[in-house]
Structure 1
């Protein structure tokens, strides 16, 4: 066996393992799809990965290589471990590991193509070109999904409950309380460092801290929407625009807004087709996020959510320089 042939076989074996992992990851993502369209796309991706596994195995055999019977099991195990460990990480980190896997598949497919060219293995070269095209598309898709997340989402995939706690949604929900807590802590620390513990300024700050602690306790027993709205009103009254905005953003993230707060007028009276048409006019990720959250919380019309998601994806593609 020539050195080049041995390299081809080694790369094909590695690609079988990674492609098997890719398939299982895609299947775990199906349950996280935000829309039916994304769910269908992920299902097709998983099926395509399974088909690619068979094609790679056929080429491996054609070159005289023996497929590793353990490889599929390892691929599935890798996907299971990945899905398990990513639960304690923020959602964007899970997407980055997906992207890392696709980049490795793309890079190995590119390397395989060059090896096949050098060895004169036409069929392997054709397979490598097919793999390069498939993984390039997936890399682009994941890059856009990450851009959607960076722009404030919501993304095509929905974080699991544990990931929500670890990442974005928890940050949004806790933003007002965390802002107030940090404000009080910083104020107290500043006063203490200045040696003013006994001054009226320190008394005022500590009294405020106690009052805010009571407000936090109330927020734990009241409805989230009402609590956040109350926090926004209090912050507005006290002239604290940052805290008011944090509370409003949290309400928007949870869909706790009224129809007259939406960036689309008379939203509740719109039919599906009318809402879809208006969705295409939105140019700010924040506006799209607000409407999606409201739609999911109140009407949950799949066609409208899909249209809003498509509009957000278009903005994300523009942000990362991906051609539509």
Structure 2
């Protein structure tokens, strides 16, 4: 049976290598950040993970362990393989993989604390406590992001185009084909992630002339609004509701259809204050889509993201 010191050293080496993988994954996630605030948070997470890796390495050296120069190499390789594999995975599966890594880091940190206590090593015990705090916070953050994905967003991270296609394919295989408001919502999310021909035409129109692009967009939006009105008048309420959800997800509702009265006239501070009063994730999602499609003010977008996360934390019991 190994001594506490030997077991402690083995666990520190393991957590050092896993932390190097965590760093690379955090770096790959930066490109998927929905907002600048999330991008900064992920960048800080990567920097904090590097600091933790250095602290673990120093403790390994103090215990007489061999320097882990090969750990970062394995970390980069592991993260590269994971990132490549994720392109064929639905987005939620990729996030579940991140969450599994964080749980393993958290469990090992707790085990290290127990070993360090047994070995009467206060320095290692303090390091373990630092790791426990960090990984507990990351587990909570990833759990919230997954809940955002499950509840329809707005998620802190965006799908890559391939993940969007993969996720759509999985849903087609695993659920009956039926049009509903939720189905339209999901389809709209996929459309935003993998720009369709209409958006490509609009982009080309923008390059050819901004007026032409705006005309095309206005015609599209008016056609969708008219279709919703006609289907509702004809009594096809489910179809009308699906069209309304699609328009809401694309951010093309009329100002008087928004859940915040007079929203289009609010300045940043007023908009942020109004968003904080919303208590339904769906309403926050509608406002965020409208904001991103129109003024796209960073402070308002970040406030909507934060409010959505707070509501979702309440739903899953993390608040």
With normalisation by structure 1, the TM-score equals 0.79
Aligned to 1:307: 303
Is 2:139 the partner of 1:139? yes
Aligned to 1:103: 103
Quick one: which of 256, 261, 265 aligns to 2:257? 261
Q: Conserved in 2, the CA contact under 8 Å of 1:22 and 1:49?
A: yes
Count, aligned residues: 281
User: For structure 2, which runs of at least 5 residues remain unmatched after alignment?
Assistant: 172-176, 181-197, 202-215
Question: Which segment is superposed worse, 314-323 or 280-289?
Answer: 314-323
Residue by residue over 1:160-214, the C-alpha shift from the partner in whole angstroms, topping out at 9 and shown as x without a partner, is 222223337997xxxxx9529xxxxxxxxxxxxxxxxxxxxxxxxxxxxxxxxxx
Is 2:278 the partner of 1:277? no
Alpha-carbon distance between aligned partners in 2 of 1:111 and 1:168, rounded to the nearest angstrom: 40
How far is 1:237 from its partner?
A: 4.2
Aligned to 1:130: 130
CA 1:168–1:293: 2 relative to 1, 3 Å: farther
Q: Conserved in 2, the CA contact under 8 Å of 1:144 and 1:317?
A: yes
User: For structure 1, which runs of at least 5 residues remain unmatched after alignment?
Assistant: 172-176, 181-217
Q: Conserved in 2, the CA contact under 8 Å of 1:164 and 1:170?
A: no
CA 1:256–1:292: 2 relative to 1, 3 Å: same
How far is 1:288 from its partner?
A: 0.5
CA 1:226–1:18: 2 relative to 1, 3 Å: farther
Residue by residue over 1:228-266, the C-alpha shift from the partner in whole angstroms, topping out at 9 and shown as x without a partner, is 445534542443322222222222212122222111112
Residue aligned with 2:284, SS: helix
Moved over 6 A (4+): 168-171, 220-224
Aligned to 2:94: 94
CA 1:249–1:145: 2 relative to 1, 3 Å: same
Alpha-carbon distance between aligned partners in 2 of 1:84 and 1:307, rounded to the nearest angstrom: 32
Q: Conserved in 1, the CA contact under 8 Å of 2:57 and 2:68?
A: no
Aligned to 1:292: 288
How far is 1:17 from its partner?
A: 1.0
Aligned to 1:198: none
Alpha-carbon distance between aligned partners in 2 of 1:299 and 1:94, rounded to the nearest angstrom: 32
CA 1:239–1:255: 2 relative to 1, 3 Å: same
Residue aligned with 1:88, SS: coil
CA 1:151–1:61: 2 relative to 1, 3 Å: same
How far is 1:92 from its partner?
A: 1.9
Q: Conserved in 1, the CA contact under 8 Å of 2:90 and 2:170?
A: no
Question: Which segment is superposed worse, 55-64 or 227-236?
Answer: 227-236
Aligned to 1:17: 17
How far is 1:269 from its partner?
A: 1.1
CA 1:59–1:83: 2 relative to 1, 3 Å: same
CA 1:303–1:169: 2 relative to 1, 3 Å: farther
RMSD: 2.7
CA 1:286–1:26: 2 relative to 1, 3 Å: same
Is 2:43 the partner of 1:36? no
Alpha-carbon distance between aligned partners in 1 of 2:72 and 2:264, rounded to the nearest angstrom: 50
Is 2:228 the partner of 1:232? yes
How far is 1:7 from its partner?
A: 1.3
Residue aligned with 1:179, SS: coil
Alpha-carbon distance between aligned partners in 2 of 1:266 and 1:277, rounded to the nearest angstrom: 13
Q: Conserved in 2, the CA contact under 8 Å of 1:13 and 1:67?
A: no
Aligned to 1:72: 72
